[in-house]
Amino acid sequence: MSNSVDANTVAAAGISLSNTLSADTEVVLATFETTGSSTVTITDASLGTDTLPMSVLSITEAGYSDETGFIIDASPDSSVQIVPYADYTPQSGVITPTDALGVLKTVVGMNLNPTINELIAGDVNMDGKLTPTDALSILKYVVGMNGGVDPEWIFSDVNADYSASTSQNIGYSNVIDLGLVASGVDLQLEGYLLGDFNGTL
Look at residue 48 in the predicted model and tell me its pLDDT: 58
Q: Note the pLDDT tens digit of each residue in 133-171.
A: 999 999 999 999 999 999 988 888 888 889 999 999 998
d(CA 35, CA 155): 18
| Confidence category of residue 1, pLDDT binned at 50, 70, 90 | very low
pLDDT at 30 over 60: no
- pLDDT of 194: 94
Q: Please give the mean pLDDT across all residues of the chain.
A: 76
For residues 151 and 123, the answer to whether their CB atoms sit within 8 Å is no
> What mean pLDDT do residues 17-24 have?
57
User: Number of C-alpha atoms within 13 angstroms, CB side, residue 97?
Assistant: 1
pLDDT of 90 > 90? The answer is no
Give the pLDDT mean for 170-190: 75
Q: Helix or strand or coil: residue 143?
A: helix
Using pLDDT thresholds of 50, 70 and 90, give the confidence band for residue 29. low
Residue 118's pLDDT is what? 96
What's the pLDDT score for residue 2? 34
CATH number of 87-175: 1.10.1330
Spacing of C-alpha 137 from chain mean position? 20
pLDDT, mean of residues 65-83:
66
197-200 contact pairs (CB < 8 A, 24+): 197/98, 197/99, 197/100, 197/102, 197/103, 197/118, 197/121, 197/122, 197/138, 198/98, 198/99, 198/102, 198/118, 199/115, 199/117, 199/118, 199/121, 200/93, 200/94, 200/95, 200/96
The yes-or-no verdict on residue 119 having pLDDT over 60 is yes
